[in-house]
Structure formats: structure tokens, C-alpha cells
Structure 1
């Protein structure tokens, strides 16, 4: 005859055997919820592990893991020879003297009692919303990632004894195996000629730019960026005290001639470019301009920071190689991210540079991120070596190309020429230009009321420009159609401002 507690368990515990979450965690969370709701009262004796395993139809070891998890979180207490009991999580654990009395603060201070420097430059420019549909600046769709497959790679890497030994030692350079595999991958896919000694592994592109700026920039140095540029990079440069100057942009990228006519040799410290798909306009820096920029760097003595933020997303048969592939004078520092098509936790940043600069960067990385994620890097290295990255990217590119084509088709047919754009050869976003008489901010506000969120950082509107950068990669076909339909309706409902005469 089953006990009332066993009957309770069968009523509130629901196991999803198709979920990636382990069963013991599913049940543990449901038991905690039952205690919080009062279904299981404090002092209740929980069933034995054999009896509960039969009710839940799981292995007895799973039930033991459930009770261990509840005990670790302080929801139950295991009493020898008596059983497992629900306890009040708020009850104090008795401590031996002289630490018997616990000091409790009624309220933690909201402000410091001392003065510190606050940065306005590094204020977060991103907005958030609970809208069902959201445009971003060109992010991949993590739904295309086979999470179970990724978890198997990570789990297998975690279980290998030689990898566990690496966790004990500090790895300032990261996984040597991953750097070897990544250097091979970059040489094959981007035409580079590097070894593992030319690679620095970081957590993100932003961390890479921060370390580069710490070493290569001083207060007052002139940094040239595109007239429209990656705002996160500009923030890092300005935080270092650099003078950020802009270069005009045309249909083939930044205007290289502008540098020669407005600056003299020695006046420029750094030129920051996103040549593959210029951010935010998505135009590609022409081959002739690439050659001219490399020659100008050698002549003027400035370094080039090349940010190849979305190189992996190319839809054409012929790819334009990075500036770094043609650099023979050591003037280019190449920055990128690896695994962007995977889930965010599986992505990593990297820097490619001559040996002596990488050696100096490792000193700074040792302060910021001394240990790194050795297991993750090992798993990514194995995915490169086994060809898993190539297979996943090939499948994803097919989907993203179809989404790009659909996005462009709807813009062309539904918007009746009221929005101008060029179909990008790669990347996950479109650069759209609008009639200057429309208020893009008003359109964005109307879209928000219709459950479509367009962040302000995607809107570019001033006296000379009216444009939006609209990401399509994270939206499936149905979502693309819904989002553009809302955008069309909101645009159509806004009365254009008459031109000034």
C-alpha cells in the first residue's frame, strides 16, 4: 500500500525524458517547488530511495542523486538510521563558538562610502524588450545549433583524463591543441600563414580590442574609423584616451584617398576597419583599396586593426581574403571570433599578430583571464579536427542564404521601392536606407506597440542619413514575414514630413 507522500510525488512530479536537462535536476526542482507551495511540509519524511525509484520509474541511483542535490541546496536533511526529512531552509545552522552569533545586515548599502571614477563612455548602448519579434544587428540563430550534439563534444572532452590534468595547471596561453587546430583552420579558410604562436585566445572580440588598446594606444593617439563604425570598438578606443577620427565611406568601403589628403606620415597611430562587411553598411572593401591601405600603412607607419566579425557567413563562391593574408610587413592585427554559428557559450575570440606582439598580449591576458576555458577549447579543437565545424557551418549557411533571399524579396516587392538596399554577399544583416522625411524613431515606437522591437542602436538618422541595419539571421521564414509585415504597416501609417522649401 503506497504512502500519502508517495502519492504526492506521483501527482506533482512530471519527468520529460526528451529534455536535455538531467532527470535528477528536473525532479529536484519540482520537489523544491512543492515545498515552496506547501505541498510538502517542513518535517515531512521523504520516501526511501527504492520506493521512490519504483514510483518515478527511474534508477535508484537517480533518486540518490535527487536527494543529494536537495541536501546540497539545504532543502532536506539526511538523518542517519532515520531517513530524509524536509527542513526549513531559513533555519540557522548551529556553529561552534566563538562564531555562534551571525551578523545580519538589515539592508545592504546602495552607495559606496567613497568616491570613484564613473565612465559615461562605457554606458551600455543596448536596449531590451519582451516583444515576441525583435530585430538585431545581425546575430545567428542558436536554434540551428544541435545543443545535444555540442554537449556530447563537451562532455567527452571533460571525461578525458589528460584534459582534467590541464585544469590543475594555469593555462595562460590557452589550450595548445586548440591553438594548433585554429591556426590550421584560419590558414585554410582565410589564406593566412600563421602558427599557434601567432594566436591569442580571448573570450570575445571586445576583450581582444581592449588588450590591443592597452598595449598599442596612448592618450592622444589618433585612431581612424569609418564614418559609421562599430560602436563597441569606438568605446574601447575612447576609453583609452585616443582621439577617434572618422573616414568617409562609399560603395566600396572606407575612402583610402581621404587618409592621404588629410593626414601626414606619423600622425596616425591606428586604422580600425571591418573590410569584409563594413559595419554597419555591409559593403566590402575592394581589392584595390586593400592593397592601397597596406601600402599606406607601411608608408605612414600606422597599424591596421582588422575586425573580421562575420567572415564565416559568406554566400558567394569567391571569398575576399582578409588584409592579414597579404600583410608581409607586420602592420596588421587581425581580430575575429570563432564558433559564432554555435551557441553563445561555445564562441571564443582570437587575435592574430606577429610573435612579439602576441607574447606581450599574453601578459595582459594573464591578468584578465588567466585560466581560460581549457575544456571548451579542447572540445572546439576536436570539432575542427573532426570536420564538425565545417559540416555545421555548411548546413547553417544554406539556411541563412534562404533567409537573406526571402528578406530581400519581401523588401523589394512589399515595400514598393520606398526602402533602398543592396543584397549583401554575406553576413546576417541588411543595410536599408529610407526616405529622410520619415522619422525612423516614430516607426520603431509604432512597431513596439505591435510586438516588434527595433533597438535604437539599429537606427541611423540625421540631416544627411536615414537608415536601419536589420538582422535577419535569427529569424525563421515565418518570423521574417511577420516582422516585415509589421514594419510595413507602421511605415505606411506614418505621414512623411514635407520637405523644407
Structure 2
């Protein structure tokens, strides 16, 4: 006889009702093969005695199990494990179900996409260049979100909506992008996405499903390179200097190969932060006209430029429709507000919308509508100006600290905009060792491997300053200085 009192553990006072605990325990025992098909179960009174519960509790559990087909009642004979269930080889007694760590079936592990999981912000984190979420316009977001969702006539937006994104946000973006970027487009040329990365994924899938060549910089945003390769593109690299992507090298590749796309972060090249010159912008657009490739323009932080007015994006000067423009509001508001956009010719947007539909039916219509209201009422623009002023001051402060305390170890140029500095470590030192020592002192720094996929040995790393206040920046530099001084002493021994 099976001793159910040893197999079923009842946790009284928990969130789950006792009868459900009994039901789930019996299901697990059946799934594990401990209770076999057609096995007779104790009557409700006997089971209640064994488990020290009221008989009605067991009856409720049995009723639920019968309704789900796990057990069956045979008149005048008793209650049995259903005879319709397949035989299960016993796996031993396990009190709770546990999933295997390794799948027993084959699948494509896509090892190329596996990267070190970014660490959650610790007490002190030097990121790659992200906004300070502590200054996010939470009050304004909540006010507009509550306003939208509380009005009865907006209830329709809780239902399925257009997979191109909320219409009101697309209409607002038409005007906003024209005023801020000189970009003339219509509503049906805009697709709302969950950040610029989704736009990058959709574009890459549409352009490179059948392969083809894509050109990127020798130093490049790793997520973009991985996305292109995953889509099927053969990625070729060209040099990046202080004027951005070297377009004459792009031209040379066009003369030798059929190019399907060129990926560029024209405003602040990722990772080096350099701004693409006006001459090269014009040259790249002309090459796209001549050779018929698409320019994938990732304008991830257009709104943060400190030295002068930002250069207009490539799409504003490309009337031939060869540019697929990707941007995001996440960098202005907060990374968790996953709202981005793609601007491209109408037929390309239509295809991207239908592809997006089978990945993510639609975005957060209420949040999208709330952001539209923030733009209409000027809240987003006011926050953007506030953030720009703050990050400008933080850039200057951080650069001064680096120059004063770390000039013997690091070299860098003051970036014209963005949220990070591209710092080159002295040649006889390694970022990997620095990161390990910094972690021991409570400071997390970015993974240097993300910036040198080709093994160029440039020893560069993005040091984000926007998310750190002055005191945090001082502490970061203090730790870096301690680590690098100790490193230098080890080298000299």
C-alpha cells in the first residue's frame, strides 16, 4: 500500500488552497509514474485520515482531478488513476516537479548570439552610455497614462490595434521628426517598434533573408553586427576614423561586390562616438543611389549633442528612399519605456509591419498614446532639454576627472555628444584584468570584448557618464585610479 502521508506535503496557511495542493501532488505522482494507470486510490475518508485533512477537502481534490481526466470513478469499485493515460516509466519519488537544465531535444543554440548577460546595476556601475533613470519624467508619464486609460472612449485602445503602432503617435512623430530632424515623411512611412533594436531586426530580416553583403565599421555596435549575421548577411568591415565610416572603402567594395546594405550610426558612431562628416554623408547617399543598397541609419542618441547643432540625419538628404531610419524614445525617457520607430518607404514599412505582426502582435497602445500626448504638450521636449543640460555638465566633469587622474593610463577625445566616452587603455594593460580588479572593489565596467570582435587590439572601451552624478563619477575614477596604479606596479616588478 502506498503511504500517501509520506508523499504529499501539505503547507497550511499558504497562498494555495489545501485541496489544490493535494490535486497537484497527485498529478505530479502520476506524471512521475509513481501512480500508474488504473491504480486504485484510497477512498476520500481514508485519504483524509492519511493527510490529516477534512474529507470534503479530498472530495474537492478528487472532483477536480476527475474533471481534468486524471482519475476516474468506477461505481461499486472505487476511484482509480485513469486507464486512458499512457504508461510512464517511474522516475523515483520527487516532491516537486523540476525542469531539466538541458533540453532533451535538438535545437539551434545560435552560439554566436550568446554574450555575457549585462549585470544588474550594483552599488556602482560604469555602463556603456545609458540615461539616468533617476531623472525620468515619471510624473508626466503617469499623468498621461492615467489620463488615457481612465477615459471611457479610450477603452477601444485596450483591444487589438494596428500593428504599425498607435496612429496618434505616428501622426505626432510626422511633425516632430520634421521639426527636429528635417525629415519629411507620412504616417504610412512610420512603424512604431519596441526600441531601435526591433527596427534593426525587422530591417535585417527583410534585406538579408536570402543572404547578401552588409557593410559595417571595423568597430561597430555588436548587437547590429549579430543581428545582420543572424539574418543571413555576410558582414564586411571598413575603417572608421575621426570623420566616421570611411566611405571610399565602401565605394571600393561596391565596385567589387553586390552590396545589399550599409549599417551606420552617423550621428555618434558606436562605439567610438565620432560624428560622420557632412562630406561622407553626401558620399554615402550618392553611393546608395548608384549601387542600389539600403542605408540602415541607427540614430540612437540624436537628441544629445553638446558642441553645436546636430547634423541632420542621412534620411533628411536622401530623397531616393534608400535610407531606413531607426530611432528610439527610450534614450530620452528611460530604457524600460520600449518605444522606438522606423521610417522608410511605404512598401518597406508595410512588409516590416506584417513581419512584426508574427513576432509581437503590437506594442503597448496605451503607453504609445501617452507618449504622443507628452510630445503634443511639450513634456518630452522639456525633459529632453533638461537632460541635455545635465548630461553636458556630467560629460565635462567626467572628462576633467579622467584628464586629472587617469591621463597616464587612458587617452580619449571629448565627445561632441552622446552619453559615453571612447577611452583607449595604455597598450601594456588589458581591460579584462582591470575589470576583474574593479569588480573586487565594487565597480562593474562594460565587457571590453564587445568592442573588438575582429581582434584589432585597439584597447578601447565605452565609459558611460550620463547615468552617474558628480559624486559617483568621483568614486568611479578613484577606483579606476587605484586599480590602474596597482596594475602599473605589477608591470614594473
Q: TM-score, normalised by structure 2?
A: 0.79
Whole-angstrom distance in 2 between the partners of 1:42 and 1:169? 40
Whole-angstrom distance in 1 between the partners of 2:192 and 2:491? 53
Cα displacement (A) at 1:467: 1.5
Which of residues 321, 325, 334 is equivalent to 2:312? Answer: 321
Asked if structure 1 preserves the Cα contact closer than 8 Å seen for 2:199 and 2:326, the reply is yes
Per the alignment, residue 185 of structure 1 pairs with 176
Asked if structure 2 preserves the Cα contact closer than 8 Å seen for 1:266 and 1:302, the reply is no
**CA deviations over 1:462-491 (Å, ceiling 9, x no partner):** 564122210111111110010011111111
Cα displacement (A) at 1:344: 2.9
Per the alignment, residue 223 of structure 1 pairs with 214
Mapping 1:47-446, distance limit 5 Å: 94=61, 95-96=63-64, 97-99=66-68, 106-128=97-119, 131-264=122-255, 267-446=258-437
Per the alignment, residue 488 of structure 1 pairs with 481
| Change over 3 Å in CA distance of 1:130–1:163 after alignment to 2 | closer
Per the alignment, residue 37 of structure 2 pairs with none
Cα displacement (A) at 1:111: 3.7
Whole-angstrom distance in 1 between the partners of 2:342 and 2:125? 31
Q: Tell me the SS of whatever aligns to 2:192.
A: strand
Q: TM-score, normalised by structure 1?
A: 0.78
Whole-angstrom distance in 1 between the partners of 2:489 and 2:458? 15
User: Which of the two has higher C-alpha Rg?
Assistant: 2
| Change over 3 Å in CA distance of 1:440–1:331 after alignment to 2 | same
Cα displacement (A) at 1:129: 5.9
Cα displacement (A) at 1:497: 8.9
Q: Tell me the SS of whatever aligns to 1:334.
A: strand
| Change over 3 Å in CA distance of 1:110–1:442 after alignment to 2 | closer
Cα displacement (A) at 1:496: 7.7
Q: Tell me the SS of whatever aligns to 2:127.
A: coil
Asked if structure 2 preserves the Cα contact closer than 8 Å seen for 1:266 and 1:300, the reply is no
Asked if structure 2 preserves the Cα contact closer than 8 Å seen for 1:437 and 1:496, the reply is no
Asked if structure 1 preserves the Cα contact closer than 8 Å seen for 2:172 and 2:375, the reply is yes
Structure 2 residue runs without a partner (length 5+): 1-10, 19-52, 72-80, 82-94
Structure 1 residue runs without a partner (length 5+): 1-37, 44-69, 76-86
| Change over 3 Å in CA distance of 1:442–1:112 after alignment to 2 | closer
After superposing the two structures, state which structure 1 stretch, 178-187 or 283-292, moved more.
Answer: 178-187
Whole-angstrom distance in 2 between the partners of 1:265 and 1:297? 15
RMSD (Å) for aligned C-alpha atoms: 2.8
| Change over 3 Å in CA distance of 1:174–1:108 after alignment to 2 | same
Whole-angstrom distance in 2 between the partners of 1:464 and 1:200? 39
| Change over 3 Å in CA distance of 1:186–1:265 after alignment to 2 | farther
Cα displacement (A) at 1:446: 1.1
Per the alignment, residue 467 of structure 1 pairs with 460
Asked if structure 2 preserves the Cα contact closer than 8 Å seen for 1:190 and 1:321, the reply is yes
Whole-angstrom distance in 2 between the partners of 1:376 and 1:129? 25
Q: Tell me the SS of whatever aligns to 1:177.
A: helix
